[in-house]
Amino acid sequence: MRIGEGVEWGLHCCLVLAWLEDEAPVSTGRLAALFELPPVYLKKRLQALVRAGILASIPGAQGGFRLARPPEKITLMGVVAAVEGPDEAFRCTEIRQRGAGTEAAEGEFTRPCGIAAAMRRAELAWRRELAAQTLADLIANAPAAVPGRTRRFYERLGG
């Protein structure tokens, strides 16, 4: 399974917005500058988080992004689903029914394939783990120096 870089970008931006919660909304440009990311691509990820209700987008010259909910109400799974979409990682296409499987007895394929069942169990465990962790958990486990360093860098950007 490969998770796109947009998930990492989204989670880091959410952390920054939590650390800068007392600031004005943060623009895409400033968030992009904090991590040296391409603003156009970052904006697409942030808009997905807005559609999911994780971020709020404030229009206007002084606009930007804020967290739409408290950090303890934002799960890692919520961010993954917002950026990557809700589809399952493994998609069984029932190849067992092709080729040699065309000669199978009637009713042989009434039960799910063992591979599909195992992959489903693994994905459910992964999703449960991410759903059990929140942005607040990440904040609590971040090294103590990170919020201050992030704030200082942001201020040098003109924040």
- Give me the domains of the chain, ranges plus CATH numbers: 5-156 (1.10.10.10)
132: its two tokens: 């059990």
Tell me if 57 sits within 8 A of 95, measured CB to CB: no
Instruction: Please give the pLDDT value at position 8.
Output: 96
- Please tell me the distance from the alpha carbon of residue 125 to that of residue 113, in angstroms, as a whole number: 19
pTM of the full structure = 0.87
Instruction: Give bridge partners of residue 65 from the DSSP assignment.
Output: 26, 57
5: its two tokens: 């870089």
Q: How many CA atoms lie within 13 A of 76 on its CB side?
A: 16
Tell me the average confidence (pLDDT) per consecutive run of 10 residues in the chain, 159 residues long. 89 96 91 95 96 96 94 97 90 87 86 90 95 97 91 84
Instruction: Please give the pLDDT value at position 108.
Output: 86
Torsion over CA: 152, 6, 143, 135 (sign) = positive
